[in-house]
Amino acid sequence: MKFEKFLESLFIDLKNIQEGKINPTLDMDQHLLSIRDVINFFRSNCGYDLKCIGEWQLALGLAVGYFNAVNFGMENVQAIFKEISEAVLEDWKDTWKNSVRRINLDFL
């Protein structure tokens, strides 16, 4: 449910840009509400303050990534998951195996 609300907010921001209600190249002090948490992460952990144009590019990338993931198909995801699960031949302290195990395909 939280992810669906995020997507809804993301597409509202992108629609506002498309309709000219927000101009990311001119509105330097305008911020996209949908990715506020991501922007705060960048500011807190990277010391980098994104301007509206950077926020727009990030939001667009998230939307395109979501679209691609949805249209990629679970068969392809499962095949890639199987391949990466078996990709490492020498796994120091089972680091790879433990990391792969944390991937939840049901979430997709």
Confidence class for position 82, pLDDT limits 50, 70, 90? very high
Q: At what angle do helices 2-18 and 52-72 cross, to 10 degrees?
A: 120
Question: 18 and 58: one domain?
Answer: yes
Domain containing 18 equals 1-72
Question: 62 and 80: one domain?
Answer: no
Determine how many CB atoms are found less than 10 A away from the CB of residue 40. 10
Question: 3 and 27: one domain?
Answer: yes
Work out how many domains the chain is built from and give that number.
2
pLDDT tens-digit readout, 11-57: 999 999 999 998 888 876 778 888 888 888 888 998 888 888 888 89
Which pTM value belongs to this model?
0.65
Confidence class for position 86, pLDDT limits 50, 70, 90? very high
Question: 88 and 67: one domain?
Answer: no
Question: 18 and 56: one domain?
Answer: yes
